[in-house]
C-alpha cells in the first residue's frame, strides 16, 4: 500500500469511529431521563389517588347531588354512568355535615358481614352511590386520559389484600353491581369483573393486575363501627383501595366528552 | 539511474500533498464528534431542567394537598406565602396555586386565562410567587408543569360551611 492510500484509509477509519461514537451518544441521549420521568409521573398519579382518598373524608354527601344534574355532565349519554343520571340527586336528602366517608361507613356497617350495596341492614344508606358520584368527577382527568379505575373495600386480614387461595376467603367486601368503577360492561369479557347474582366478591384490581395491566394502587385504613348479631359494638378495620391503570380498551367518544 | 528514480516517484506529490486528502475525513470526524457532544450536552441540560421543575412541582403539590381539603385563609396566609415560597425558592422555581369550586362537576380549562381563573366565578383562591395579570402569560411561555388534584372546597359557594367538589391546580415553571 502506498503512503497516500494508507493516510486516507486512516482518515476514513477515524470518520467511521467518530460516526459510531456519535450514534452511541444519540442513542444514550434519546433515552436519558426516561426512567426518572416515568417514576415522577407515577408519583403524580399516586399523589392524585391519595388526594382522592383524603377528599372522601371532607366532601359532604349532600353536595354531590349536583353531579349529573343541571349544569353538570349528561350522564345518560355516558354508558358507564348512565344509571347515575337520576341517582346522585337522591343524595340531597342527607343533612349537611354528613360526609361521603360517613355515608360509606354506614353502608358498610351492616349487622353480620359488611356489604357495599347502598343499604344498612335493609335501610337505605347511599354510600356506594355517593362514592360513585364523587369518583366520577374526581377521576375525570384520568378517565379522559384513558385510564380505568376501581374503588373497593378490602379486608386487611386476608393474605396480601387479595384473598386466601387455600380457604377461598375473599379479600374484597361484597359489592352490588354496578361497582365503583368506570369499567364498561364489556370489561366482563376480560374477567376483571366477576359478577355472581348481582354481586362482585373478587378484587377487580387484582384481576386487572393479573391480566398484565400496569396498576397503580393506593390503600388507606377505613375503620367501620357496626353491631354484631348480639347487639355488641364491634370495630371492623377495613381498607379503602383506589386502583387505576392505563386502559387498553377503546375509549368511546362519549367517555372523552365526560 | 535517472529513469529509475522518476518511476519510483510516479504519483508522489510531496510529503504534505500525499497526506492532504486524508485531512477531510479526519476533520469531518472531529467536527461530527464534537458537534454530537455539544448537542448531547444541550439535550441533557434541557431534560435535567425539565425534571428539576417536575420534581419541584411534585414537592409543592405534596405541601398543598396534605389534608385533602382547602382552608382558604391558611392557604393564602401560611401555605402559599411561607411554606411554598420557601420550597420554591430552594428549588429556584416559580409557582402559582389555583383553587376552583366545581360544585356541579369538574370542568376542564381550555385556555391559560381560564386555567388561572382570571375573571372566573368559580375561582376561590389563587396565590403564587408572581403577582400581576401577566402571570398566566409568563407561566405559559415558560413550558410549565401543571398538576391538578381533587379537593373538598366550600359549596355551593366560597363561604359555605358545607364542602363539595373542587379542583386544585399547581402550576410550576422556571
Chain B residue numbers with beta carbons less than 8 Å from the beta carbon of A10 are: 22, 26
pLDDT at B81: 81
Please report, in angstroms and rounded to a whole number, the separation of the first and last CA atoms in chain B: 79
Pairing label, strands A174-176, A115-116: parallel
| The three cell numbers locating residue A90 | 337522591
| Distance (Å, whole) CA B169 – CA B100 | 8
Q: Which residue segment(s) compose the domain that A135 sits in?
A: 34-257
Residue A9 covered by a domain: no
Q: Which of A14, A66, A71 sits opposite B25 (nearest CB)?
A: A14
Considering only A10-14, B79-83, B95-99, which range has the smallest mean pLDDT? B79-83
Q: Please give the average per-residue pLDDT across A178-199, as a whole number.
A: 80
Residue B112's SS3 state is helix
Say which residues have a Cβ less than 8 Å from residue B76's Cβ, sequence separation at least 6. Answer: B125, B127
In this model, does residue A139 exceed pLDDT 70?
Answer: yes
Residue B66's SS3 state is coil
In this model, does residue A19 exceed pLDDT 90?
Answer: yes
| The three cell numbers locating residue A3 | 503512503
Considering only A36-50, A51-65, A167-181, B25-39, which range has the smallest mean pLDDT? A167-181
Taken in order A142, A143, A149, A150, the sign of the CA dihedral is positive
In this structure, the number of other CB atoms found within 10 A of the CB of residue A129 comes to: 24
pTM score, two decimals?
A: 0.85
B1-18 tens-digit pLDDT: 444 454 556 666 666 666
Residue A15 covered by a domain: no
Q: Looking at the complex, report in whole angstroms how far the Cα of residue B36 sits from the nearest Cα belonging to chain A.
A: 6
Chain B residue numbers with beta carbons less than 8 Å from the beta carbon of A137 are: 102, 105-106, 150, 165
Would you call A60 an interface residue with chain B, using a CB distance cutoff of 8 Å?
yes
Q: What's the topology of domain B44-173? A: Beta-Lactamase (3.30.450)
pLDDT at B9: 61
Return the H-helix or E-strand segment holding B84: none
Between B44 and B110, residue with greater pLDDT: B44
| CA angle, A140 then A143 then A144, to 5° | 85
pLDDT band for position A253 (50/70/90)? very low
- ipTM tops 0.85: no
Residue A1 covered by a domain: no
| Distance (Å, whole) CA A254 – CA A258 | 6
Would you call A46 an interface residue with chain B, using a CB distance cutoff of 8 Å?
no
Long-range CB pairs of A192-197 (<8 Å, 24+ gap) are none
Considering only A199-203, A251-255, B89-93, B128-132, which range has the smallest mean pLDDT? A251-255
Pairing label, strands A216-227, B163-173: unpaired
Q: What radius of gyration do chain A's Cα atoms show?
A: 26
| Distance (Å, whole) CA A205 – CA A185 | 16
Q: Are A150 and A180 in contact (CB under 8 A)?
A: yes
In this model, does residue A251 exceed pLDDT 70?
Answer: no
Q: Which residue carries 396555586 as its cell?
A: B97
**Environment class of A63 (CB within 10 Å of its CB; exposed 0-12, middle 13-18, buried 19+):** buried
pLDDT at B132: 76
Q: Are A217 and A242 in contact (CB under 8 A)?
A: yes
Residue A19 covered by a domain: no
pLDDT at A85: 84
DSSP output for chain A? --HHHHHHHHHHHHHHHHHHHHHHHHHHHHHTTHHHHHHHHHHHHHHHHHHHHHHHTTSBGGGGGGTTSTTS--GGGSGGGGGGGGTGGGGGGSPTT-BHHHHHHHHH--SSS-EESSEETTEE--HHHHHHHHHHHHTHHHHHTTEEEEEEEE-TTSGGGT--TTT---SBPEEESS-SB---GGGGGGTSS-EETTEE-S-HHHHHHHTT---EEEEEEEEEEEE-TTS-EEEEEEEEEEEEEE--SPPPHHHHH-
Return the percentage of chain A with pLDDT > 70, whole number. 86
Number of domains in chain A: 1
pLDDT at A257: 44
Between A83 and B4, residue with greater pLDDT: A83
Prior bond to A255 cis, omega within 30?
no
Q: Looking at the complex, report in whole angstroms how far the Cα of residue B87 sits from the nearest Cα belonging to chain A.
A: 18
pLDDT at B133: 74
Domain ranges of chain B: 44-173
Q: Determine whether the interchain pair B65/A138 forms a contact, defined as Cβ–Cβ distance below 8 Å.
A: no
Residue A7 covered by a domain: no
Q: Are A80 and A254 in contact (CB under 8 A)?
A: no
| Distance (Å, whole) CA A171 – CA A152 | 10
- Average pLDDT for chain A: 84
| Distance (Å, whole) CA B99 – CA A94 | 26
Phi, psi of A23 (to 5 degrees): -60, -45
Point out which residues pair with B169 in neighbouring strands. Answer: B98, B148
Residue A25 covered by a domain: no
pLDDT at A255: 47
Would you call B73 an interface residue with chain A, using a CB distance cutoff of 8 Å?
no
B46 vs A35, A97, B54, B174, CA distance in Å? Answer: 16, 49, 12, 12
Chain A residue numbers with beta carbons less than 8 Å from the beta carbon of B33 are: 18, 21-22
pLDDT band for position A161 (50/70/90)? low
Amino acid at each position: 500500500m502506498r503512503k497516500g492510500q494508507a493516510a486516507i484509509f486512516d482518515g476514513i477509519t477515524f470518520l467511521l469511529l467518530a460516526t459510531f461514537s456519535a450514534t452511541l451518544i444519540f442513542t444514550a441521549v434519546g433515552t436519558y431521563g426516561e426512567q426518572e420521568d416515568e417514576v415522577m409521573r407515577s408519583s403524580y398519579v399516586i399523589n392524585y389517588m391519595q388526594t382522592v382518598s383524603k377528599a372522601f373524608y371532607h366532601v359532604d354527601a349532600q353536595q354531590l347531588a349536583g353531579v349529573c344534574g343541571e349544569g353538570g355532565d349528561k350522564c345518560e349519554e355516558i354508558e358507564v354512568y348512565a344509571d347515575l343520571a337520576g341517582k346522585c340527586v337522591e343524595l340531597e336528602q342527607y343533612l349537611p355535615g354528613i360526609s361521603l366517608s360517613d355515608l360509606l361507613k354506614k353502608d358498610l356497617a351492616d349487622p353480620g358481614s359488611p356489604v357495599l350495596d347502598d343499604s344498612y341492614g335493609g335501610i337505605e344508606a347511599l354510600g356506594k352511590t355517593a362514592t360513585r358520584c364523587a369518583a366520577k368527577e374526581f377521576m375525570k382527568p384520568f378517565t379522559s386520559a384513558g385510564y380505568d379505575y376501581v374503588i373497593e373495600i378490602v379486608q386487611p386480614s386476608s393474605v396480601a389484600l387479595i384473598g386466601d387461595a387455600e380457604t377461598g376467603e375473599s379479600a374484597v367486601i361484597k359489592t352490588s353491581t354496578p361497582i365503583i368503577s368506570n369499567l364498561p360492561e364489556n370489561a366482563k369479557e376480560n374477567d376483571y369483573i366477576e359478577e355472581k347474582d348481582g354481586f362482585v366478591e373478587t378484587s377487580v384490581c387484582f384481576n386487572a393486575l393479573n391480566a398484565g395491566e400496569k396498576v397503580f394502587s393506593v390503600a388507606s385504613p377505613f375503620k367501620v363501627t357496626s353491631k354484631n348479631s348480639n347487639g355488641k359494638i364491634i370495630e371492623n378495620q377495613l381498607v379503602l383501595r383506589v386502583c387505576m391503570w392505563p386502559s387498553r380498551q377503546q375509549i368511546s367518544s362519549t367517555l372523552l366528552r365526560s | 539511474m535517472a529513469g529509475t528514480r522518476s518511476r519510483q516517484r510516479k504519483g508522489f506529490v510531496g510529503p504534505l500533498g500525499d497526506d492532504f486528502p486524508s485531512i477531510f475525513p479526519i476533520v469531518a470526524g472531529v467536527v461530527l464528534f464534537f458537534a454530537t457532544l455539544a448537542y448531547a450536552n444541550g439535550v441533557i441540560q434541557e431534560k435535567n431542567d425539565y425534571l428539576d421543575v417536575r420534581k419541584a412541582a411534585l414537592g409543592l403539590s405534596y405541601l398543598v394537598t396534605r389534608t385533602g381539603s382547602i382552608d382558604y385563609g391558611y392557604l393564602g396566609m401560611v401555605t402559599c406565602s411561607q411554606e411554598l415560597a420557601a420550597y420554591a425558592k430552594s428549588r429556584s422555581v416559580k409557582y402559582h396555586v389555583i383553587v376552583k369550586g366545581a360544585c356541579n362537576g369538574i370542568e376542564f380549562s381550555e385556555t391559560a386565562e381560564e386555567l388561572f381563573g382570571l375573571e372566573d366565578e368559580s375561582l376561590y383562591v389563587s396565590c403564587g410567587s408572581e403577582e400581576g395579570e401577566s402571570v398566566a402569560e409568563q407561566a405559559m411561555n415558560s413550558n410549565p408543569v401543571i398538576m391538578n388534584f381533587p379537593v373538598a372546597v366550600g359549596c355551593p359557594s366560597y363561604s359555605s360551611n358545607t364542602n363539595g367538589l373542587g379542583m386544585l391546580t399547581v402550576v410550576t415553571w422556571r
